[in-house]
Structure 1
Amino acid sequence: MTEFLDYQEVQEQAFIHAQKLAEREVKNGYQFEYLFSYTDGHGMPVYWKVRAKNYHTGDKWIRVFSSGERGFKFGDPDFNELYPIGQGKKPLYALEQVLNLAEKQPIYIVEGEQKADFLNSMGLIATTCGGSGNTDKTDIKPLAKHDIVIWADNDKAGTKFFNEIAQQLDVLGCDIRYIVLDGLNLPEKGDVMDWADLRKQQGLNTTASDITALITAQYQPPSPSDNLPDGMLAEPMEWENGSFEVHDKGVFYIEKLKNGEYRERFISSPILVTAKTRDNTSNNWGRLLQWQDDAFIHHNWAVPNELFQGDGTESRKALSNQGVIITPDRRGRELFQIYLMSYPVDKFALCVDSVGWHGHRYVLPTETYSNPATKHDEVIVYQRTDGLDNRFQFKGELETWKNGVSLLLESHSKLVFSVACAFAGQLLEPLNQQGGGFHINGTSSKGKSTAIYLACSVWGHPKEYYRTWRSTGNALEQTAFMHNDGFLVLDEIGEASAKDIGQTVYMLANGQGKARMARTAITKAPQQWRVLFLSSGEKTFKEILNEIGQTAKLGQEIRLPEISLDACEYGVFDLVDFAPDASQQANMLYENSINAYGVAGKAWLEYLTNDKGQITETALKMYQQFKAKITPDNAQGHIARVASRFAVVAVAGELATQANITGWKKGRALEAVISVFKTWLNSFEMVGDFEDRQILQQVRAFFEANGNSRFDTLIEGNKRASYGNSDHADDANTDTKSFREKTMYRVGYKVVNAQQRETLRYLFFKEQFKQELCTGFDPKKVAKVLKKHGWLDCANGKTTKQERTPESKNPVWLYVFNTSMFSYDIEKATNPYTDDVNTGTTIDI
């Protein structure tokens, strides 16, 4: 309703509405006091708060209302609509003044709008979020980096408010001070207005200079171990007739018995509840847990609250699987769940349900990577309701992996390419590239498994990180989502469902699953991802489709380019250089990879998040250079698309080298990617005029198979046809009728020279041409292709020619084939990439 009214008119109408709201309370002894207007940064009203007070009882009456389509409505507005910058949170009070304050002027934060107005009336800048319990519901980002002075009320609620707001402001990089209340002689619950009243009773007026002259102290963030006895990891939590205590030996429940004695019950190994989690819509609440297992490995898990509903079996299973020791008795398990659900924490964390990039931070299931020097509003954690399937594991040191794996494979282009693929998924989002994959195929013992194991070692255990194609489409959709902005490996394409594999390839590369109906009968948004995946198997993608009578589409082949190992003497290796033979080289690399894995991926994420902006700028420049270098001149669109994906892999390999992760020489990753791209391109059928090539190959195959069996023979210059055996073509006594029966499924005539019996040309009936030669193609397209390549003798402007036949007195129009088709080099005529692509290796990186 505020769309056509100015601010003053809206305020006047809001004031009238507020008085009407308070009419009944006024009749019951309350007095209308204030109407507070909350606005956005431009001064436009977002919502109002009306307040009345019963001065006899001290009770307060407070209501919130906002504008709707038909006037004012009770309750909060849709903050996402009216204050979108707050991402679902409400604005600060007096926000416009906060945004327009003079530089270095402190901002006072108080509990309540009346106190903020009082300070603002003096020329100070003051705001509020309403008091304790509202700090997490208010968008306080406008206060970031400012000097802050907090004046909390003189009571326990004020202390709680102070701790809540100060901790959040500290995260925003604010310089925080607070008014020292000792010595101000404030009553219980006293505030700035009570202090001004006390001064007024003494005949003193309060001015801005009086406020700024008050003693303040610097806020010091509390240490987790402050005021805790030795051995205690957290404050005790009282519960019923006892309390929970968290020691370095475990979580215990100290129960007070009827006889006055205490009984200590072991609940679990040490585990801390460190924060409440929720998403940016304030849904999907949960608890952030931290613990250390018996191998001294630290764990973090954001557990959705809904997993605690029921008996908590699922959450206990997951925790046990990650090293938490939980008491087996029923009462102990119940107490364990009570502790996790109810332990009081003031800290908040933002939860997300997908791994990958979230701004400049990269989230994995148990860890978030970011620039340690950057302060963020909130911690981001990964949280899902379907459990934790974390295959991102690490072991050993980076130098061990580098020396035992990365440097040994440096001489082998296909292995360098495979490992570079493992780093490429994280660059899809910064480079704004679509996902896609590569398929490594070859017969047994060619090194397919070696390639994927070494690529997997970048992120986890070589034999545990990868998945298989033997899954339903829905399962692979979830798998891809779990690898968003990352690297996915799928082994044994031969196990995939031939019926579904075509659509699965599209789904994985395009990055979106199916829309589904939730249990609440609401359509769930489809899962989305960006992933680079590496596939392997003895069969090719096309072979699997051919088994069920289907043909691979161009869109599928460029989303999953196939790299064959069969033509290579040593399979996945370029040569034998660090072991007696290729087999022992593969074994050595695998053994080394299980001694150190996941550390390269960890170092890669630390490198990328240290300065994502600068690294993105560098990566974009490299990408443009590499793409131009890899893409052949005058490349067709689909070839250029594949070259773009190869370029992303090259950038990933070179950046990982610059980050001192791989140990390779500068330019080696690019060189390897170019080599593998040439291997793919030289074996790819759908290059150049690939449809022309398919047509020509199909036509020549027909003539090779049927050149003598489905054509009647005509002798050049003879009007009479010889049917069947051409050896009797000049025998006037031959019974032509008997020979006609032997030319089964006739499609036309073969014209031969009378002396040498040399075939001169083939005459093809027009209808037979459509039915026999053009299967799967447009007949007009086929005729034009044949004419373009000189296989047809044609009349001017046509693809057919008139010829005399024994059946007709007049010439008839036929397709006339010359014999050049048998010696014609189809590949050379239709594929401009048959020669080596001029790619070179010299480039400025």
Structure 2
Amino acid sequence: MSNTAFVNHQGTKGIQGITSNDKGSVGSLNKNAQRTEGVHCPAVEVISPIEVFEAVLHSPNIERPTYLTHDDWFLIDGVKFKPGLYYHGIDKTDSDNPVNIWICSPIHADALTSNEHGADWGLLLRFINPNAMWREWAMPSSMLKGYGEDMRGELLSLGVRISPDGNKPLHRWLASQEPKSRIIAAMRTGWHESQQGIAFVLPNKVIGAEDVRFQSEYALHDDFIQKGTLQDWKNEVAALCQDNHILLLSVSSALAGPLLKIAKLQELGGAGIHLMGDSSRGKTTALQVAASVWGSPSFMRTWRATANGLEATAASRNDTFLPLDECGESDPKEIGLIIYSLANGVGKQRAKRTGGTRESARWRTIVLSSGECAMGTHMSESGKRIKAGQQARLLDIPATNFEFGAFNSLHGSDSGRAFADRLKRATSKNYGRLGVEFIEKLIADKQDLPALYADTCKLPQFSTHDGVESRAVGTFALIGMAGELATEYGLTGWKEGDAINAAIIAFQSWREYRGTGKTEDRQILQAVRDFILQHGDSRFSKLGDSILDGLHIKNRAGWWRELGNDGRVYMFNSPALREAVPGFEPTKILDVLQKAGWITEHDKDKRSKKTTVNGSKTNFYYIRPNEDDGV
């Protein structure tokens, strides 16, 4: 290694070594080397023997050549060197004189990392930032490929100072490190197991076993930030949730994610709730309150953003919580697949550049969504229909039909808006504490959580009639259980039973909205009714009117006929009936209409009736919605 370019004025060689009287300079991008330059800092300082004695600086015994990290100032032959990673070598071109090359600020490789399956290897790095605070980063070894540009960029972002000419030496040092310690590299948040036991991993914190670390290419990417105190959150946020079913449900939903694995014993996927109702009635506020369990207001995402980065977003919230606002902003054509993906917990397989396939992203999470309409209604805008499986995975809850929109009690505020603003101010000052405290209590809890979950599902208020309801109960019971555990741990200040009662009320509201009939049958009936409400006067006209009276009808769907006090019967032509109920086979549509008694007239052995209109005979479906069907 040639070092002739780096001779300083003291005769000691080092990368850009200068005395302490010289000013450092910030490096820039070296285009020739194609690498990121670091911070140009003084490496050595000449001091007198008296100053050495007073400072009691360490004089290390160095066996050259070697790399060494010095955490404090040190002496070599009476010359004071600042802390950092050094290459201590010998200049073969200059009478074998020693060289001391400052590479970067102090950094250590404390352990080798790998996931539970012996893959995703990396290094646990420990370094000091400009605030004199030690930090850690589990760096994937894959970041050493090529010039290591991304690795250095991340270290610079974390506060490591790198010499402008230290890039290659730093790369060599990192590539040569083989620390004896081994720890588990957690590639996603949430529950992990190691030799020391169970751990819950967040980007900047590990709760439980100490031999696990979060490993990512982006060490600064952390949604799980904290502000304020738990006590202030309890006083200013949790206290206002009392007597407000939607707020109790929302906070409990935020706490339910960690229970998916340890109580529900679910390996992948999740479930969720969709709060629907009029705009500006408190739904978004409920999501912000729920987001404060784990992080700042920015912890909440939107459906539009999630559609573009679904897998990364869901994986980053593994075993925690994903609040999604404004489903109306999402593409109606895509939202059905998004619901399935979120609930199934497995991302798409993607090919590697070198061949083969990458491991798919995986997650477990609870989703809390909001929007002005039901998911099925939103999907229908693109001509798609929501399937029973999708409805069971994201449960529609009417959320704004309480006395003050989404709120039952304003706790002394003058209006619903004032109450919402009060909650928003509180959650902007206090957040991120409850989730961490809840995990710590869960790890210490010796209860049989799977048995407790099973008992919660068996509550008489959670009785079911079909498989869809059973799946819904599994979600509501888990949410209610999470809120009750947090209350039992002393984390909410709520009364015992508040959280589970909110979950029961939500289940009953969901079931009432869904109805007791089969979901697909109700969808068909609702679609026909909606079509008549939307087009009854614009695409139908009265049977018997002259041809001239019907000239204003564009894209005719049929005719209608008065039935006295019983209203109208609508005569659908075949294309219009298929248009009214997209996604279903015509036979299925007619079966449901006939079973519901909505087909009032038909020819023998048929469900249509041949009718003469304007001199020609055409088959029509005579349909009159039944007001007693509750759709």
Shorter-chain TM-score above 0.5: yes
Q: Which position in structure 1 is the counterpart of 2:449?
A: 618
Distance 1:582 1:805, change over 3 A: closer
Name the larger-Rg structure. 1
Asked if structure 2 preserves the Cα contact closer than 8 Å seen for 1:516 and 1:526, the reply is: yes
Would you say 1:527 and 2:369 are equivalent positions? no
Structure 2: tracts of 5 or more residues without a match: 1-54, 74-81
List per-residue Cα deviations over 1:749-772 (Å, max 9, x = no partner).
Answer: 9698xxxx88999797xxx77555
For residue 432 of structure 1, the aligned residue among 237, 252, 265 is 265
Unaligned runs of 5+ in 1: 1-228, 373-378, 713-722, 726-736, 831-845
Partner of 2:120: 284
Query: Would you say 1:644 and 2:474 are equivalent positions?
Result: yes
Once the 2 structures are TM-superposed, how far is the Cα of residue 649 of structure 1 from its aligned partner?
0.7
For 1:552, the equivalent position in structure 2 comes to 386
For residues 181 and 411 of structure 2, the distance between their equivalents in structure 1, rounded to whole angstroms, comes to 56
Counterpart residue type for residue 244 of structure 1: T
Give 1:774 shift. Answer: 6.3
State whether residues 762 and 816 of structure 1, in contact with CA within 8 Å, keep that contact through their aligned partners in structure 2.
no
**How far, CA to CA, are the matches of 2:558 and 2:331 in structure 1?**
40
1:397 matches 2:229: yes
What amino acid is the match of 1:251?
A: G
- Once the two structures are superposed, residues 304-325 of structure 1 have per-residue CA deviations (whole angstroms, 9 ceiling, x without a partner) of 2232344433223323433x34
Match of 2:472, SS state, is helix
Task: Please tell me whether residue 688 in structure 1 is matched to residue 530 in structure 2.
Answer: no
CA 1:566–1:296 in 2, change beyond 3 Å: closer, same or farther?
farther
* Alpha-carbon shift at residue 480 of structure 1 (Å): 1.0
CA distance in 1, matches of 2:324, 2:415: 27
Partner residue, 1:482: 316
SS at match of 1:534: strand
Of residues 65, 71, 74, the one that matches 1:240 is: 65
Pick one of 498, 504, 509 that aligns with 2:338: 504
SS in 1 for 2:297: coil
Contact 2:399-2:406 at 8 Å conserved across structures: yes
> Matches of 2:124 and 2:557 in 1, distance apart?
79
Distance 1:604 1:678 in 2: 27
- Higher RCO (C-alpha under 8 Å, 6+ residues apart): 2
Q: Match of 1:517, SS? A: coil
Q: Which residue of 625, 628, 631 corresponds with 1:825? A: 628
Q: 2:328 aligns with which of 494, 513, 520?
A: 494
CA contact (8 A) 1:711 1:743 kept: no
Aligned AA (1:621): L
Say whether 1:275 aligns with 2:111.
yes
C-alpha spacing 1:349/1:564, structure 2 compared with 1 (3 Å): same
1:654 aligns with 2:479: no
1:365 aligns to what?
Answer: 203
Alignment correspondent of 1:663: 493
Deviation of the 1:428 alpha carbon:
0.9
CA distance in 1: counterparts of 2:598 and 2:474, whole angstroms? 37
Aligned residue number for residue 21 of structure 2:
none
Distance 1:680 1:381, change over 3 A: same
1:435, CA displacement in angstroms? 0.5
State how far apart, in whole Å, the 1-side matches of 2:133 and 2:122 are: 23
SS of 2:108's equivalent? Answer: strand
2:517 counterpart letter in structure 1: G
1:540 and 1:290 mapped to 2: Cα distance? 49
Task: Pick the aligned partner of 2:215 from 361, 383, 395.
Answer: 383
User: Do the aligned residues in 2 keep the contact of 1:514 with 1:526 (CA within 8 Å)?
Assistant: yes
> Residue type matched to 1:316 in 2?
R
CA shift in 2, pair 1:817/1:631, >3 Å: same
The residue identity in structure 2 corresponding to 1:679 is: S
1:580 to partner: Cα distance: 3.5
Q: Secondary structure at the match of 2:200?
A: strand
Change (3 A) 1:600 1:255: same
- How many Å apart are 1:339 and its aligned residue? 4.7
Quote the offset at 1:441 in angstroms: 3.9
The letter of the residue matching 1:356 is G
Q: Which residue of 2 aligns with 1:46?
A: none
Q: 1:300 to 1:746 in 2, by over 3 A?
A: closer
Q: CA deviation at 1:798?
A: 5.8
User: Secondary structure of 2:261's partner?
Assistant: coil
CA distance in 1 between partners of 2:339 and 2:431 (Å):
28
Contact 1:639 1:687 in 2 (8 A): no
| Per-residue deviation, 1:499 | 3.2
Q: Does 1:312 align with 2:148?
A: yes
Aligned equivalents of 2:363, 2:328: Cα separation in 1: 25
The one-letter amino acid paired with 1:620 is A
Q: Letter of the 2:452 partner, please give it.
A: K
After superposition, the Cα gap between the structure-2 partners of 1:570 and 1:241, relative to the gap in structure 1 and judged at 3 Å, is same
Residues 661-681 of structure 1 deviation map (CA, whole Å, 9 limit, x = unaligned): 222111111112222333333
> For the Cα contact (< 8 Å) 2:85–2:107, is it kept in 1?
no
Deviation at 1:270, TM superposition (A): 4.3
Shift of 1:739: 11
Question: 1: distance between equivalents of 2:391 and 2:312?
Answer: 23
Question: In 1, distance between residues paired with 2:308 and 2:185?
Answer: 24
2:161 to 326, 342, 358: 326
CA distance in 1, matches of 2:551, 2:216: 75
CA distance in 2, matches of 1:600, 1:769: 59
Deviation of 1:528 after TM superposition, in Å, equals 1.9
Is the alpha carbon distance of 1:348 and 1:410 closer, same or farther for their aligned partners in structure 2, counting shifts above 3 Å?
same
| Aligned partners of 2:314 and 2:365 also within 8 Å | yes
**Deviation (angstroms), 1:742:** 12
Please name the residue that 1:469 is paired with. Answer: 303
- CA distance in 2 between counterparts of 1:277 and 1:743 reads 71
Distance 1:650 1:458 in 2: 16
- The aligned runs of 1:127-146 (5 Å cut-off) are none
Q: 1:253 aligns with which of 76, 86, 101?
A: 86
> Does structure 1 conserve the Cα–Cα contact (< 8 Å) formed by 2:225 and 2:296?
yes
Q: Distance in 1 between matches of 2:323 and 2:64?
A: 48
Could you say what secondary structure the match of 1:414 adopts? helix
Query: Once the 2 structures are TM-superposed, how far is the Cα of residue 264 of structure 1 from its aligned partner?
Result: 7.1
The count of residues paired between Structure 1 and Structure 2 equals 551
2:348 is the counterpart of 1:514: yes
**Cα pair distance change 1:310/1:441, threshold 3 Å:** same
Q: Conserved in 2, the CA contact under 8 Å of 1:576 and 1:582?
A: yes
Q: Provide the residue aligned with 1:17 in structure 2.
A: none
